[in-house]
Chain A
Amino acid sequence: MRTQGNLARHELIGLSVRVSRSPDPSVEGVEGRVVDETRNTLVLERADGRRAIRVPKAGCAFRFALPNGTFAELEGSFIAFRPEDRVKRCR
């Protein structure tokens, strides 16, 4: 089960997230669902069906909405690994 403690190692795809901080102002504050993940990016889809955005993990902080109602903030640089690697390599 995805909790605040283990989110860094768990599946991010399918979660709703907001970019809470980013060096790129056009990306900051963006909200969406995680649709895919790469080593360096998260791909989000926004509610109004606009084209999906690819947000770099580096330098950004993300606020994920967990299924149990709570939120978890993750620092992008801490999860900058391939999705399959994160189970092993993230704190």
Chain B
Amino acid sequence: MGERRQRRGRRSKDMARIASERVALLFGEAERAARQGRSALGDRYVSLARSIGMRYNIRLPPDLKRRACRECGRFLVPGKTLRVRFRAGRTVRTCLKCGNISREKLASRKPPAGL
């Protein structure tokens, strides 16, 4: 495979693509693990996904970002580790493990595709 010389530290499009695919895969596995009640595994996958994202400088898609606590890094499961409430035009999401609260304006969001 002919590799063009890359600037030091720059990731290639190839690496970036694989990295973002892996991140998405890992969140999927975290979901699956959480469904089996294996929260530790889900947390581990989140932390791996984060490492990969940081390493290759990949922005995590916002919908995946919301599934992990920014503070403690745990995988968030509404009902078990996450409390979602609506208040004053925002959604208030509380991590039930570390207490971190994140708020997002509802504004005019369309329902995710498929609903």
Contacts and interface: CB of A to CB of B under 8 A. Distances in A.
A47 interface: no
B21 interface: yes
A32 interface: no
Contact of A10 (B11, B18, B32, B41): B18
A11 B55 contact: no
B21 A88 contact: no
A78 to B, nearest CB: 15
Interface in B28-56: 28-29, 32, 41, 44-45, 48, 51-52, 55-56
A14 B24 CA distance: 12
A66 interface: no
B82 interface: no
B41 A87 contact: no
A9 B45 CA distance: 17
Nearest to B23: A11
A84 B18 contact: no
Contacts of B29: 13-14
B55 A84 contact: yes
Interface string A61-91: 0000000000000000000000110011000
B9 to A, nearest CB: 11
B25 A36 contact: no
Contacts of B28: 14
- 7 smallest beta-carbon distances between A and B, as pairs: A11-B22, A84-B51, A11-B25, A14-B29, A84-B52, A84-B55, A87-B15
